[in-house]
Chains A and B, each alone.
Chain A
Amino acid sequence: MGPLSTKAFLIIGAAKMLMIFVGWLTAVAGVTLAERKIAAWIQDRSGPNRVGPWGLFQPIADGLKNFLKEEVRPAGSSRWVFYLAPVISMFPAMVVFAVIPIAAPLPTRWGTVNMIVADLPIGILYILAIASLGVYGLVLGGWSSNSKYSFLGGVRASAQMISYEVALGLSLVPILMVAGNVTLPQLVSQQQDALWYILPLMVGYLFLTASYFAETNRLPFDMPEAESELVAGFHTEYSAMKFAMFMLAEYANMVTAAALMATLFFGGWDIPFWSGDNMTLAADGSVAGAAPAWWKTTLTGLCFAAKTGFFILVFIWVRWTVPRFRYDQVMSLGWKVLIPMEVVYVALLGGAMLYLDYLGIPFGTRYALYLTALNVVLMLVIVFVVDRNRIILGAGWRQTRPQRVKSEWIEYADRRQDSR
């Protein structure tokens, strides 16, 4: 069967777009509830449990409440920028997932349909380009509020997000090197053919996770909000629906980040250890590999949702486990640790890949396993040699010291006891 006709493409495209868009918004609303529920479980309390069974309708109630609440615009704020900032913040968060494939191609009467809003040839570059617009919402929101807390949150947000954008971009370079293209469906099918990139590019995943936590302003890097220092950071002065829009944008970014982690490193919608879903849709509408079927699309869709859900859980879990970094620690982690290490990693990986080519090993499982060995070695080097609780002067650093301090204290106390 050939490619879809233009009319069918437009109608199916609109239907897919609406379906995925609404599904995505529902997922984001669900995540706001999941965050509160999981936080409650981690802190041993019930969480929202009044609206509907297990508080399931809480997001709807929140949305209604936010619509009806009084909005306060602080005196001296720049009116239009103040109204525009939540829109600018929410727009990129909602459109960025358009290039992420959510399931295996679906066969229909009019041709095989790719389960993705738009299979753009620029793929990852689109995500980076659109996601980096999100910083404008934060900065303009902070600047226009005419409040010092908002202002500080805004400038912090700008510096942090642009710093980690460099780190995020560099952490994607290894994937481009191995894959040789930027469209996400291609990445998925390559991971099906060889190995999930989490194994051959383990260290890259470490960098990507760190950068994405900073990019989405989640704890341990939520400096733009930092409620113990800046009240609520850039959205201190925002109330009712505009506040909710900033929150929605944050959660939408988080869902996108989780979906990207699943797609780039964990095979996207690929079901592990099953070759029945190894299919690729070519531009001319023909399918290579296994035959598409509606139940395969459903299963792979569920698999993708499960993977994304897992990474969302990790985001929430980290938020309620790890304390916040200091601002200078965040910045030095980005510039002094992540960027130099990523540059070295790109250089080492390039050398290793050239050597594998020189040995004449074709791209495939064996190739990926050699890269995996390299990455395991690098991972061990990072954890036990480079870091050694030294680079990030955080909790780990202090944990190694009190032992010594404590014994000195005990000796000191003993001596005092003796002299008395």
Chain B
Amino acid sequence: MLREYVPVLMIFAASLGVAVIMVVGSQILSNRRPTPVKSEPYESGMPPIGDTRERFAVKYYVVAMLFLLFDVEVVILFTWGIVFKSLGLFGYVTILIFLLLLVVGLLYEWRKGALEWER
């Protein structure tokens, strides 16, 4: 029923309220005396070298791409799992073919080295 979503909105409001009060409250209550040295980013006590926002390993992008593919597949599995009993054998064979494709894709990534971190 749609009215069940009203308490969810209430709890959204309560959580956002608590989180915002925490940030704003500590802004108001805490005293702050920034100095140039204090506000340097932490780098084990040394003066920071270079910029943080530089290029980083492309592997993270690869993982993000793989995630997009596999998460879509997980969503399809959810919908299948809920109606699994009523679909019966036909649905099972269909999803087996689907899972086979998924595993072949995963094996391809694996062989291509997209899942290796030590290279």
Interface residues of A, Cβ cutoff 8 Å to B: 6, 9-10, 13-14, 16-18, 21, 25, 66-77, 83, 86-87, 90-91, 94-95, 98, 117-121, 125-126, 143, 145-151, 155, 158-159, 162-163, 165-166, 169-170, 172-174, 176-177, 180-182, 231, 236-237, 240-242, 244-245, 283, 327-328, 331-332, 335-336, 339-340, 343, 346-347, 350-351, 353-354, 357
Tell me the bound Cα distance from A403 to B60 in angstroms. 38
Q: Is there an interface contact between B26 and A17, defined as CB atoms closer than 8 Å?
A: no
- Which residue of B6, B11, B16, B82 contacts A180 across the interface (Cβ within 8 Å)? B82
**Is B64 touching A158 in the complex (CB atoms < 8 A)?**
yes
Task: Tell me whether B30 and A94 are in contact (CB under 8 A).
Answer: no
Closest to A166 in B: B70
Q: Which residue of A lies closest to B56 (CB)?
A: A155
B residues near A (Cβ < 8 Å) are 1, 3-8, 10-12, 14-16, 18-20, 22-23, 25-27, 29-34, 36, 38-44, 48, 52-53, 56, 59-60, 63-64, 66-67, 70-71, 74-75, 77-78, 81-85, 88-89, 92, 95-96, 99, 102-103, 106, 110, 115-118
- Inter-chain contact count A-B, CB under 8 Å? 226
**In the complex, are the beta carbons of A119 and B19 less than 8 A apart?**
no
Q: List 13 A-B contacts (CB under 8 A).
A: A13-B10, A14-B7, A74-B41, A91-B12, A91-B15, A91-B19, A94-B11, A95-B8, A149-B43, A166-B67, A240-B30, A354-B92, A357-B85
B114: nearest chain-A partner, CB-CB: A335
Q: Which residue of B lies closest to A283 (CB)?
A: B1
CA distance A120 to B44 in the complex (A): 48
- Contact A148:B52 (CB < 8 A) given known A118-B7, A245-B22, A343-B103: yes
Whether the pair A17, B7 counts as a contact (CB closer than 8 A) is: yes
Question: Do B26 and A331 touch (CB < 8 A)?
Answer: no
Q: List chain B residues, Cβ under 8 A from A17.
A: 7, 10-11, 14
**A173:B77 contact, CB within 8 angstroms:** yes
Residues of A within 8 A of B75 (CB): 169
Given A16-B7, A67-B30, A86-B19; A170-B74 close (CB under 8 Å) = yes
Q: Known contacts A159-B63, A165-B71: does B4 contact A120 (CB below 8 Å)? A: yes
Task: Pick the residue among A117, A125, A245, A327 that contacts B11 (CB under 8 A).
Answer: A117
Given contacts A147-B41, A169-B71, A231-B42, contact A66 B12 (CB under 8 A): no
| Residue pair A71, B82 in contact (C-beta under 8 Å) | no
B41–A75 touching, CB < 8 Å: yes
Which residues from chain B contact A67 at a C-beta distance below 8 Å?
25-26, 29-30
Partner of B77, one of A70, A71, A346: A346
